[in-house]
Structure formats: structure tokens, C-alpha cells
Copies of this chain bind each other. A is one copy, B any other.
Amino acid sequence: MKREAYLRLAIEQAKQALVHGDVPVGAVLVRDGEVIGSGFNQKEYRGDPTAHAEILALRDAAARLGRWRLDDTELYVTLEPCAMCAGAIIQARISRVVFGAWDSKGGALGSVLNLASIPALNHSVDVIGGILEDECGRLLTEFFRERRRESGGMPEMAERARLENG
């Protein structure tokens, strides 16, 4: 399967986050062409600050394999990972991250920070960003537009929600 196809599986994950009103971000972890873990953002639903799509996909794969080390895997995620998720990717020794939309507000694999190849951390990650960027980004833009409308067009409320969930 091609990169785009795996990223579309991540998009399907992202859509599940919408059911509980969570910001739509999804991820799948792939090894040897096989999906071994998946997750979608459940921060609001679970009331857990660490329940980002990437963290849940990593934990899902680790539980299946029965070990924390997830080397020789590729993570496909709809949005550029934040510092927590980029750190988790390093902890798990993931080989490559392919993501959709760049996150200029909190992205930690090139936008605000770049944790992908800090020599002292003893693990570097290959990063490919901007694949299916429009499709991945549209999910988010539509989510926040809808939220703005629900908040009666009060931009400061929508902005606050964006900052808290981004």
C-alpha cells in the first residue's frame, strides 16, 4: 500500500474523534505493510491529557506486540505531532513519521520545534510532512468552523477551544 492509503486509514480514525466532540486527529502504526495499532484523539471523551491519537496508537501496538519497543515501524498521522507525541515516538524507537497537516501552533516535528533528530536523544526519526495535507487539514478547519457557529459566532470562545485542544 502507498503512503496515501495509510494516511487515509488515519483519516478514518480521525473521523471517529468527532463522535465525542474531540478535535479530529487520527493515527495508524504500520510494520511490514500491516497496521499494528490505531488511535484517534480522545482527550475530551476520556478526560485524559495524554489521550492523543498518536499515544493511543502506540499503546495499542505495544499491547498487541507485548513490548514497548516499536522499531521498524511507520506512524501515519493526520496532524503534525505535538512535543508529547514526538517524545513518545522517540521513546518507542519508531523509524518514520508520515503526517498530513502541519501544525504551526504546536507541531514538534518541524513547525514550532523539531525533535526528530536531536543527537543527544540517541534516536532519530525520519519525517515526511504534508502528505494529503489539504484533506487532513480540512477535517480540522471544518471542525473549528462548526464549533465557532455553535458558540454563536463568538470568536474568542472558539479560539479558546482551539488553543485548549490543539
Contact = CB atoms under 8 A, between A and B. Distances in A.
A105 interface: yes
A86 B87 contact: yes
Contacts of A62: 47-49
A74 to B, nearest CB: 16
B63 A47 contact: yes
B82 A87 contact: yes
28 contacts: A44-B68, A47-B62, A47-B65, A47-B66, A47-B68, A48-B59, A48-B62, A49-B69, A49-B88, A49-B93, A50-B50, A50-B58, A50-B88, A50-B91, A50-B92, A82-B87, A82-B91, A83-B84, A83-B86, A83-B90, A83-B115, A83-B121, A84-B90, A86-B87, A87-B87, A87-B108, A106-B121, A122-B163
Interface of A: 43-44, 46-52, 55, 58-59, 62-63, 65-70, 82-88, 90-93, 105-106, 108, 112-113, 115, 118, 120-122, 163-164
A112 B122 contact: no
Given A49-B93, A82-B91, A83-B83, 5 more contacts: A50-B58, A83-B121, A84-B91, A87-B108, A112-B118
A50 B39 CA distance: 14
A77 to B, nearest CB: 15
Contacts of A91: 49-50, 52, 82, 84
